[in-house]
Amino acid sequence: MRKLYLRIYLAVVASLAVFALVAALAWRSFGEAWVSDETLATVARNVLPAAAAPAAEQQAALERLARDLRIDLALFAPDGTRLARVGRPIEAPQRPGRQHRMRGPPVWAAQLEDGRWLAARAPHRGGPGFGFFVLALILIAIAVGAYPVVRRLTRRLERLHRGVTALGEGDLSARVKVEGRDEVARLAEGFNQAAERIERLVGANKSMLASASHELRTPLSRIRMAVELMKEGADPARKRELEQDIAELDALIDEILLASRLDALPGVESGETVDLLALAAEEASRYGIEAEGASMMVRGDARLLRRMIRNLLENARRHGAPPVTVSLKNRELSVCDSGIGVPAAERERVFEPFYRGARGSGLGLSIVRQIARRHGGDVRCEGNCFVVRLRASA
Protein backbone atom coordinates (compact mmCIF):
# COMPACT_ATOMS: atom_id res chain seq x y z
CA MET A 1 0.00 0.00 0.00
CA ARG A 2 1.68 3.20 -1.17
CA LYS A 3 -0.65 5.84 0.26
CA LEU A 4 0.63 6.99 3.65
CA TYR A 5 -2.74 8.36 4.75
CA LEU A 6 -4.40 4.98 4.10
CA ARG A 7 -1.78 3.15 6.15
CA ILE A 8 -2.14 5.58 9.07
CA TYR A 9 -5.92 5.49 8.84
CA LEU A 10 -6.12 1.70 8.69
CA ALA A 11 -3.66 1.45 11.60
CA VAL A 12 -5.92 3.70 13.70
CA VAL A 13 -9.07 1.79 12.74
CA ALA A 14 -7.41 -1.59 13.34
CA SER A 15 -6.22 -0.46 16.77
CA LEU A 16 -9.73 0.67 17.66
CA ALA A 17 -11.19 -2.61 16.41
CA VAL A 18 -8.77 -4.63 18.56
CA PHE A 19 -9.54 -2.42 21.55
CA ALA A 20 -13.29 -2.83 21.04
CA LEU A 21 -12.95 -6.61 20.72
CA VAL A 22 -10.83 -6.89 23.87
CA ALA A 23 -13.23 -4.61 25.76
CA ALA A 24 -16.21 -6.70 24.65
CA LEU A 25 -14.55 -9.95 25.68
CA ALA A 26 -13.47 -8.49 29.01
CA TRP A 27 -16.96 -7.15 29.66
CA ARG A 28 -18.49 -10.48 28.75
CA SER A 29 -16.01 -12.49 30.83
CA PHE A 30 -15.49 -10.33 33.90
CA GLY A 31 -18.86 -8.62 33.96
CA GLU A 32 -20.45 -11.86 35.11
CA ALA A 33 -17.55 -13.18 37.17
CA TRP A 34 -19.36 -12.56 40.46
CA VAL A 35 -21.96 -15.21 39.55
CA SER A 36 -21.00 -18.85 40.20
CA ASP A 37 -22.53 -21.94 41.71
CA GLU A 38 -20.42 -21.48 44.87
CA THR A 39 -21.60 -17.89 45.21
CA LEU A 40 -25.23 -18.87 44.79
CA ALA A 41 -24.89 -21.71 47.30
CA THR A 42 -23.29 -19.42 49.88
CA VAL A 43 -25.95 -16.74 49.41
CA ALA A 44 -28.74 -19.34 49.65
CA ARG A 45 -27.44 -20.77 52.94
CA ASN A 46 -27.39 -17.31 54.53
CA VAL A 47 -30.62 -15.91 53.13
CA LEU A 48 -33.09 -18.64 52.21
CA PRO A 49 -35.22 -20.31 54.86
CA ALA A 50 -35.21 -24.07 55.38
CA ALA A 51 -36.78 -26.34 52.83
CA ALA A 52 -39.71 -27.01 55.17
CA ALA A 53 -40.59 -23.30 55.42
CA PRO A 54 -43.89 -22.15 53.87
CA ALA A 55 -43.87 -21.17 50.21
CA ALA A 56 -44.73 -17.55 51.07
CA GLU A 57 -41.69 -17.26 53.32
CA GLN A 58 -39.44 -18.69 50.61
CA GLN A 59 -40.95 -16.28 48.06
CA ALA A 60 -40.39 -13.29 50.36
CA ALA A 61 -36.77 -14.27 50.99
CA LEU A 62 -36.20 -14.69 47.27
CA GLU A 63 -37.71 -11.27 46.55
CA ARG A 64 -35.41 -9.59 49.08
CA LEU A 65 -32.41 -11.30 47.53
CA ALA A 66 -33.44 -10.43 43.98
CA ARG A 67 -34.09 -6.79 44.95
CA ASP A 68 -30.64 -6.42 46.45
CA LEU A 69 -28.80 -8.17 43.59
CA ARG A 70 -31.06 -6.90 40.77
CA ILE A 71 -31.19 -10.26 39.04
CA ASP A 72 -33.78 -12.84 38.09
CA LEU A 73 -34.03 -15.71 40.61
CA ALA A 74 -35.92 -18.98 40.77
CA LEU A 75 -36.01 -21.65 43.49
CA PHE A 76 -36.78 -25.25 42.56
CA ALA A 77 -37.51 -28.41 44.55
CA PRO A 78 -35.19 -31.42 44.10
CA ASP A 79 -37.58 -32.86 41.54
CA GLY A 80 -37.61 -29.62 39.49
CA THR A 81 -40.86 -28.17 40.79
CA ARG A 82 -40.67 -24.41 41.03
CA LEU A 83 -41.09 -23.15 44.60
CA ALA A 84 -40.58 -19.41 44.10
CA ARG A 85 -39.65 -16.98 41.31
CA VAL A 86 -38.65 -13.32 40.93
CA GLY A 87 -38.35 -11.73 37.49
CA ARG A 88 -38.63 -13.52 34.20
CA PRO A 89 -39.20 -17.28 34.19
CA ILE A 90 -36.17 -19.56 34.41
CA GLU A 91 -36.24 -23.23 33.44
CA ALA A 92 -35.32 -25.87 35.98
CA PRO A 93 -31.55 -26.54 35.84
CA GLN A 94 -30.11 -29.94 35.14
CA ARG A 95 -26.72 -29.52 36.82
CA PRO A 96 -24.75 -26.91 38.78
CA GLY A 97 -22.79 -24.16 37.05
CA ARG A 98 -23.47 -22.06 34.00
CA GLN A 99 -26.44 -23.12 31.86
CA HIS A 100 -26.11 -21.96 28.21
CA ARG A 101 -29.14 -20.79 26.29
CA MET A 102 -29.53 -20.17 22.60
CA ARG A 103 -30.68 -16.61 23.23
CA GLY A 104 -30.42 -14.20 26.11
CA PRO A 105 -27.95 -14.08 29.00
CA PRO A 106 -26.73 -17.31 30.63
CA VAL A 107 -28.31 -18.87 33.73
CA TRP A 108 -26.25 -19.92 36.76
CA ALA A 109 -27.49 -22.75 38.94
CA ALA A 110 -26.45 -24.14 42.35
CA GLN A 111 -27.81 -27.15 44.21
CA LEU A 112 -28.26 -26.63 47.94
CA GLU A 113 -27.46 -29.18 50.65
CA ASP A 114 -31.14 -30.00 51.07
CA GLY A 115 -31.49 -30.83 47.36
CA ARG A 116 -33.19 -27.63 46.26
CA TRP A 117 -31.94 -25.71 43.20
CA LEU A 118 -31.32 -21.95 43.05
CA ALA A 119 -31.01 -20.43 39.58
CA ALA A 120 -29.92 -16.84 38.79
CA ARG A 121 -29.83 -14.75 35.62
CA ALA A 122 -28.79 -11.14 35.09
CA PRO A 123 -31.56 -8.94 33.67
CA HIS A 124 -31.69 -8.98 29.89
CA ARG A 125 -30.30 -5.72 28.46
CA GLY A 126 -29.99 -6.62 24.84
CA GLY A 127 -27.66 -9.58 25.23
CA PRO A 128 -24.10 -9.97 23.90
CA GLY A 129 -25.21 -9.22 20.37
CA PHE A 130 -26.56 -5.87 21.44
CA GLY A 131 -23.28 -5.05 23.18
CA PHE A 132 -21.28 -5.91 20.09
CA PHE A 133 -23.68 -3.83 18.01
CA VAL A 134 -23.11 -0.81 20.24
CA LEU A 135 -19.34 -1.31 20.07
CA ALA A 136 -19.55 -1.57 16.28
CA LEU A 137 -21.45 1.71 16.11
CA ILE A 138 -18.83 3.38 18.30
CA LEU A 139 -16.05 1.96 16.11
CA ILE A 140 -17.72 3.25 12.93
CA ALA A 141 -18.23 6.70 14.45
CA ILE A 142 -14.59 6.92 15.50
CA ALA A 143 -13.42 5.64 12.09
CA VAL A 144 -15.48 8.28 10.28
CA GLY A 145 -14.18 11.00 12.58
CA ALA A 146 -10.54 9.88 12.31
CA TYR A 147 -10.42 9.92 8.51
CA PRO A 148 -10.45 13.72 7.97
CA VAL A 149 -7.87 14.19 10.73
CA VAL A 150 -5.47 11.66 9.20
CA ARG A 151 -6.16 12.88 5.67
CA ARG A 152 -5.44 16.49 6.61
CA LEU A 153 -2.03 15.52 7.98
CA THR A 154 -1.00 13.46 4.96
CA ARG A 155 -2.40 16.00 2.48
CA ARG A 156 0.17 18.46 3.81
CA LEU A 157 2.88 15.87 3.24
CA GLU A 158 1.63 15.37 -0.32
CA ARG A 159 1.83 19.11 -0.99
CA LEU A 160 5.37 19.09 0.39
CA HIS A 161 6.22 16.19 -1.94
CA ARG A 162 4.86 18.10 -4.93
CA GLY A 163 6.97 21.10 -3.95
CA VAL A 164 10.12 18.99 -3.68
CA THR A 165 9.38 17.37 -7.05
CA ALA A 166 8.82 20.74 -8.71
CA LEU A 167 12.07 22.08 -7.27
CA GLY A 168 13.93 18.99 -8.47
CA GLU A 169 12.51 19.49 -11.98
CA GLY A 170 13.92 23.01 -12.13
CA ASP A 171 11.09 25.19 -10.84
CA LEU A 172 13.14 27.24 -8.38
CA SER A 173 10.10 29.33 -7.44
CA ALA A 174 8.33 26.27 -5.95
CA ARG A 175 7.09 26.85 -2.41
CA VAL A 176 4.67 25.04 -0.10
CA LYS A 177 2.02 26.45 2.18
CA VAL A 178 2.94 26.35 5.88
CA GLU A 179 0.01 25.11 8.00
CA GLY A 180 -0.02 24.54 11.73
CA ARG A 181 2.85 24.55 14.21
CA ASP A 182 3.85 20.91 14.29
CA GLU A 183 6.77 18.99 12.79
CA VAL A 184 5.22 18.99 9.30
CA ALA A 185 4.88 22.79 9.43
CA ARG A 186 8.52 23.14 10.48
CA LEU A 187 9.53 20.83 7.65
CA ALA A 188 7.60 23.01 5.18
CA GLU A 189 9.30 26.13 6.57
CA GLY A 190 12.70 24.48 6.19
CA PHE A 191 11.92 23.50 2.61
CA ASN A 192 10.82 27.05 1.71
CA GLN A 193 13.96 28.53 3.24
CA ALA A 194 16.19 26.05 1.40
CA ALA A 195 14.35 26.67 -1.89
CA GLU A 196 14.73 30.42 -1.46
CA ARG A 197 18.48 30.11 -0.86
CA ILE A 198 18.87 27.81 -3.86
CA GLU A 199 16.91 30.20 -6.08
CA ARG A 200 19.01 33.12 -4.88
CA LEU A 201 22.32 31.30 -5.44
CA VAL A 202 21.34 29.99 -8.88
CA GLY A 203 20.03 33.41 -9.85
CA ALA A 204 23.27 35.05 -8.78
CA ASN A 205 25.26 32.45 -10.72
CA LYS A 206 23.19 33.00 -13.87
CA SER A 207 23.51 36.75 -13.54
CA MET A 208 27.26 36.52 -13.14
CA LEU A 209 27.54 34.15 -16.09
CA ALA A 210 25.45 36.37 -18.31
CA SER A 211 27.36 39.47 -17.25
CA ALA A 212 30.75 37.82 -17.84
CA SER A 213 29.65 36.62 -21.28
CA HIS A 214 28.43 40.10 -22.14
CA GLU A 215 31.65 41.69 -20.96
CA LEU A 216 33.69 39.34 -23.16
CA ARG A 217 31.93 40.70 -26.23
CA THR A 218 33.75 44.03 -25.97
CA PRO A 219 37.37 42.78 -26.08
CA LEU A 220 36.41 40.28 -28.78
CA SER A 221 35.03 43.11 -30.89
CA ARG A 222 38.24 45.09 -30.44
CA ILE A 223 40.36 42.07 -31.39
CA ARG A 224 38.22 41.49 -34.47
CA MET A 225 38.62 45.12 -35.50
CA ALA A 226 42.37 44.94 -34.95
CA VAL A 227 42.58 41.89 -37.20
CA GLU A 228 40.66 43.72 -39.91
CA LEU A 229 43.02 46.69 -39.65
CA MET A 230 46.13 44.56 -39.93
CA LYS A 231 48.42 45.52 -42.74
CA GLU A 232 48.12 43.77 -46.04
CA GLY A 233 51.59 42.37 -45.49
CA ALA A 234 50.54 40.34 -42.45
CA ASP A 235 50.83 36.57 -42.54
CA PRO A 236 47.53 35.28 -44.07
CA ALA A 237 47.76 31.98 -42.18
CA ARG A 238 48.19 33.77 -38.87
CA LYS A 239 45.29 36.05 -39.70
CA ARG A 240 43.04 33.07 -40.49
CA GLU A 241 43.99 31.42 -37.20
CA LEU A 242 43.08 34.57 -35.30
CA GLU A 243 39.76 34.82 -37.11
CA GLN A 244 38.99 31.17 -36.34
CA ASP A 245 39.84 31.62 -32.65
CA ILE A 246 37.64 34.69 -32.46
CA ALA A 247 34.78 32.81 -34.15
CA GLU A 248 35.08 29.94 -31.67
CA LEU A 249 35.11 32.31 -28.70
CA ASP A 250 32.13 34.14 -30.10
CA ALA A 251 30.21 30.84 -30.59
CA LEU A 252 31.11 29.71 -27.06
CA ILE A 253 29.83 32.97 -25.57
CA ASP A 254 26.65 32.60 -27.58
CA GLU A 255 26.16 29.05 -26.24
CA ILE A 256 26.78 30.16 -22.65
CA LEU A 257 24.19 32.90 -22.98
CA LEU A 258 21.71 30.49 -24.55
CA ALA A 259 22.27 27.91 -21.80
CA SER A 260 21.66 30.52 -19.10
CA ARG A 261 18.47 31.65 -20.85
CA LEU A 262 17.18 28.08 -21.20
CA ASP A 263 17.40 27.59 -17.42
CA ALA A 264 15.23 30.64 -16.90
CA LEU A 265 12.71 30.01 -19.68
CA PRO A 266 9.24 28.69 -18.78
CA GLY A 267 7.75 25.73 -20.63
CA VAL A 268 7.17 26.05 -24.38
CA GLU A 269 3.85 24.19 -24.47
CA SER A 270 2.08 27.37 -25.56
CA GLY A 271 4.45 28.03 -28.49
CA GLU A 272 3.74 27.79 -32.18
CA THR A 273 3.21 24.61 -34.19
CA VAL A 274 6.34 23.70 -36.15
CA ASP A 275 6.90 21.12 -38.90
CA LEU A 276 10.00 19.39 -37.57
CA LEU A 277 10.82 17.67 -40.88
CA ALA A 278 10.72 20.97 -42.77
CA LEU A 279 12.93 22.57 -40.12
CA ALA A 280 15.41 19.68 -40.27
CA ALA A 281 15.48 19.77 -44.09
CA GLU A 282 16.21 23.49 -44.06
CA GLU A 283 19.10 23.15 -41.61
CA ALA A 284 20.48 20.01 -43.32
CA SER A 285 20.59 21.83 -46.66
CA ARG A 286 23.22 24.19 -45.20
CA TYR A 287 25.55 21.18 -44.97
CA GLY A 288 24.55 19.67 -48.29
CA ILE A 289 22.47 16.94 -46.63
CA GLU A 290 18.95 15.83 -47.49
CA ALA A 291 16.56 15.08 -44.62
CA GLU A 292 14.27 12.05 -44.99
CA GLY A 293 11.20 10.78 -43.21
CA ALA A 294 7.60 11.66 -42.41
CA SER A 295 6.34 15.06 -41.41
CA MET A 296 5.82 15.64 -37.69
CA MET A 297 4.16 18.65 -36.10
CA VAL A 298 5.65 19.83 -32.81
CA ARG A 299 4.43 22.64 -30.57
CA GLY A 300 7.28 24.79 -29.32
CA ASP A 301 9.86 27.42 -30.14
CA ALA A 302 11.03 27.20 -33.77
CA ARG A 303 14.21 29.13 -33.01
CA LEU A 304 15.25 26.71 -30.27
CA LEU A 305 14.35 23.64 -32.34
CA ARG A 306 16.41 25.01 -35.22
CA ARG A 307 19.36 25.52 -32.85
CA MET A 308 18.99 21.94 -31.57
CA ILE A 309 19.19 20.49 -35.09
CA ARG A 310 22.08 22.78 -36.00
CA ASN A 311 24.11 21.71 -32.96
CA LEU A 312 23.62 18.03 -33.85
CA LEU A 313 24.70 18.63 -37.44
CA GLU A 314 27.71 20.66 -36.36
CA ASN A 315 28.71 17.94 -33.89
CA ALA A 316 28.53 15.30 -36.64
CA ARG A 317 30.57 17.49 -39.01
CA ARG A 318 33.31 18.24 -36.48
CA HIS A 319 33.67 14.94 -34.66
CA GLY A 320 32.15 12.35 -36.98
CA ALA A 321 32.84 11.29 -40.54
CA PRO A 322 30.84 11.64 -43.76
CA PRO A 323 28.30 10.77 -44.90
CA VAL A 324 25.93 12.38 -42.40
CA THR A 325 22.22 11.44 -42.52
CA VAL A 326 19.16 13.14 -41.08
CA SER A 327 15.89 11.19 -40.75
CA LEU A 328 12.57 11.58 -38.97
CA LYS A 329 10.75 8.28 -38.27
CA ASN A 330 8.41 7.07 -35.54
CA ARG A 331 8.39 10.51 -33.89
CA GLU A 332 12.20 10.43 -33.55
CA LEU A 333 14.74 12.73 -35.22
CA SER A 334 18.05 10.96 -35.90
CA VAL A 335 21.33 12.58 -36.92
CA CYS A 336 23.95 9.95 -37.77
CA ASP A 337 27.46 9.97 -39.16
CA SER A 338 29.95 7.31 -40.24
CA GLY A 339 32.51 7.93 -37.52
CA ILE A 340 33.64 5.55 -34.80
CA GLY A 341 30.91 6.79 -32.51
CA VAL A 342 30.80 7.38 -28.78
CA PRO A 343 31.85 4.54 -26.44
CA ALA A 344 29.03 3.07 -24.35
CA ALA A 345 30.59 4.36 -21.12
CA GLU A 346 30.44 7.96 -22.38
CA ARG A 347 27.02 8.02 -24.07
CA GLU A 348 25.34 9.73 -21.16
CA ARG A 349 28.22 11.95 -20.12
CA VAL A 350 28.58 13.57 -23.54
CA PHE A 351 25.53 15.68 -22.63
CA GLU A 352 27.29 17.20 -19.62
CA PRO A 353 28.51 20.80 -20.08
CA PHE A 354 32.17 20.99 -21.15
CA TYR A 355 32.69 17.25 -20.93
CA ARG A 356 35.90 16.28 -22.75
CA GLY A 357 35.54 12.95 -24.47
CA ALA A 358 35.02 11.32 -27.84
CA ARG A 359 32.90 14.23 -29.11
CA GLY A 360 35.03 17.14 -27.98
CA SER A 361 34.05 19.70 -25.34
CA GLY A 362 31.64 22.58 -25.06
CA LEU A 363 27.94 23.17 -24.54
CA GLY A 364 26.53 22.02 -27.88
CA LEU A 365 25.14 18.63 -26.84
CA SER A 366 24.14 19.93 -23.40
CA ILE A 367 22.01 22.59 -25.12
CA VAL A 368 20.48 19.90 -27.36
CA ARG A 369 19.27 18.00 -24.29
CA GLN A 370 17.97 21.16 -22.61
CA ILE A 371 15.96 22.14 -25.69
CA ALA A 372 14.59 18.60 -26.13
CA ARG A 373 13.44 18.45 -22.52
CA ARG A 374 11.90 21.91 -22.76
CA HIS A 375 9.73 20.46 -25.52
CA GLY A 376 8.62 17.43 -23.49
CA GLY A 377 11.16 15.00 -24.95
CA ASP A 378 14.77 13.89 -24.57
CA VAL A 379 17.86 12.90 -26.54
CA ARG A 380 20.01 9.79 -26.39
CA CYS A 381 23.28 8.71 -27.95
CA GLU A 382 23.50 5.45 -29.91
CA GLY A 383 27.15 5.28 -30.85
CA ASN A 384 27.46 7.46 -33.96
CA CYS A 385 23.77 8.50 -33.92
CA PHE A 386 21.98 11.07 -31.79
CA VAL A 387 18.25 10.43 -31.50
CA VAL A 388 15.82 13.10 -30.32
CA ARG A 389 12.30 12.04 -29.33
CA LEU A 390 9.78 14.87 -29.02
CA ARG A 391 6.13 15.01 -28.11
CA ALA A 392 3.97 15.48 -31.18
CA SER A 393 1.30 18.20 -31.06
CA ALA A 394 -2.33 17.08 -30.80
User: Is 3 part of any domain?
Assistant: no
Highest-scoring range by mean pLDDT, 5-14, 74-83, 241-250, 357-366: 74-83
- Same-domain pairing of 73 and 57: yes
The tens digit of pLDDT for each residue in 275-308 reads 999 999 999 999 899 999 988 898 888 888 988 9
- Same-domain pairing of 297 and 377: yes
pLDDT band at 387 (very low <50, low <70, confident <90, very high): very high
- Same-domain pairing of 251 and 277: no
Domains contained in the chain, number: 3
Share of the chain above pLDDT 70, in %: 74
pLDDT band at 378 (very low <50, low <70, confident <90, very high): very high
Outline where the chain has alpha helix (H): 4-30, 37-47, 55-69, 127-168, 183-228, 236-264, 276-285, 302-319, 364-374
The tens digit of pLDDT for each residue in 31-57 reads 544 456 677 777 777 788 888 888 888
pLDDT at residue 64 above 90? no
271: CB partners within 8 A, 6+ apart: 299, 300, 301, 302
163: CB partners within 8 A, 6+ apart: 174, 175, 176, 191, 195
Residue 80 Rama label (left phi>0; alpha psi -120 to 50; beta) = left
More confident site: 127 or 314:
314
The tens digit of pLDDT for each residue in 108-117 reads 788 888 888 8
Q: For residue 242, what is the domain's CATH number? A: 1.10.287.130
CA 31/CA 128 separation, integer angstroms: 11
pLDDT at residue 78 above 60? yes
Outline where 70-126 has alpha helix (H): none
**Residue 175, helix vs strand vs coil:** coil
- Same-domain pairing of 252 and 224: yes
Domain boundary among 97, 121, 145: 121
pLDDT band at 360 (very low <50, low <70, confident <90, very high): low
Per-residue pLDDT, 392 = 72
Per-residue pLDDT, 124 = 52
Point out the least confidently predicted range of 94-103, 186-195, 379-388.
94-103
pLDDT at residue 203 above 90? no
User: Is 48 part of any domain?
Assistant: yes
pLDDT at residue 359 above 70? no
Per-residue pLDDT, 324 = 92
Per-residue pLDDT, 292 = 92
Point out the least confidently predicted range of 23-32, 167-176, 375-384.
23-32
Q: For residue 307, what is the domain's CATH number? A: 3.30.565.10
More confident site: 208 or 306:
306
Per-residue pLDDT, 232 = 59
Domain enclosing residue 310, as ranges: 272-389
More confident site: 100 or 191:
191
Q: How many CA atoms lie within 13 A of 312 on its CB side?
A: 31
Per-residue pLDDT, 102 = 45
Question: How large is the angle between the packed helices 236-264 and 364-374, nearest 10 degrees?
Answer: 30
More confident site: 263 or 300:
300
- Same-domain pairing of 302 and 339: yes
- Same-domain pairing of 380 and 285: yes
- Same-domain pairing of 199 and 248: yes
